[in-house]
Amino acid sequence: MSAQQIDEKKLERAIRKIKHCLALAQSSNENEAATALRQAQALMREYRLTEMDVKLSDVGEVESQFSRLDRLPAWERNLSAAVAQVFGCTSLRNRQWCKVKDRIVERAAFVGVTPAQHIALYAFEALLTKLKLARKEYAAGVRSGKHRSSYSADTAADHFAITWVGEVYGKLQALVPKGEEDAPAAHSDGRDIVAVEAQDKALIAEYLANNGVGKARKARETELDMNAQIAGMLAGRKVDLHAGLARAGDDLLALSVVA
């Protein structure tokens, strides 16, 4: 095996470092929390820069523990797509038979070059928990008359959630290292980063093609309730992103490599 090829022990060490930074991200000090998350992102990038010779076998798929009896709603699909894009992954919707529920369910999944897919799943599930709570509270506010809407409470809450995701997506993007100023000292050439990202995209595309996964259809545009949009935007701006991403990290960041 090539000296540069990813091995499990090296992967475990890298993920332990990343998990340590994510754990620090629960700090109540926003600057400290943001720094910890940026360090986690930088470690992921440094790891990939020193592992240029990755193979198709290093591409893995992880699936969310959360499921839906019907199709994932638009706001949940938007969240998985936003997180996937930020962490250099591709999001999928997997439908399969669930023995516990005795029927077919749908779950979000992430495909990426290890360990990116594990980090993406971790971020998605932490943010989804926050979003479900915020959406539930907004729907209750519509039913009680606290929030005005010409739509049903559930539909207005969906519109609220879609806008919430847009705001949080912007926060995630702001924390991702970009360009030479965020690159590790030993790999300060931004062209290396571009090369790694291009290689990862090519490997992910090959993985999807080999597994018969086609391109996702473009989502239809939906006219959103203005009041719900404003409320979702304001709620998204208040999200404590850093503390949310530090929730239950040890359980969500698996160490297994999908061959």
The model's confidence at residue 257, banded by pLDDT at 50, 70 and 90, is: very low
DSSP state at residue 86: H
d(CA 241, CA 14): 23
pLDDT digits (tens, 9 = 90+) for 69-116: 888 999 999 999 999 998 889 999 998 888 777 888 999 999 998 778
Model-level pTM greater than 0.85?
A: no
DSSP state at residue 235: H
pLDDT digits (tens, 9 = 90+) for 32-65: 656 666 666 676 667 666 665 677 778 889 999 9
Least confident residue range of 12-26, 71-85, 148-162, 244-258: 244-258
Instruction: Count, in order, helices (H) and strands (E) of the chain.
Output: 9, 3
What is the mean predicted confidence (pLDDT) over 17-26? 62
User: What pLDDT is stored for residue 102 in this prediction?
Assistant: 80
Q: What angle do CA 37, 39, 42 make, to 5 degrees?
A: 115
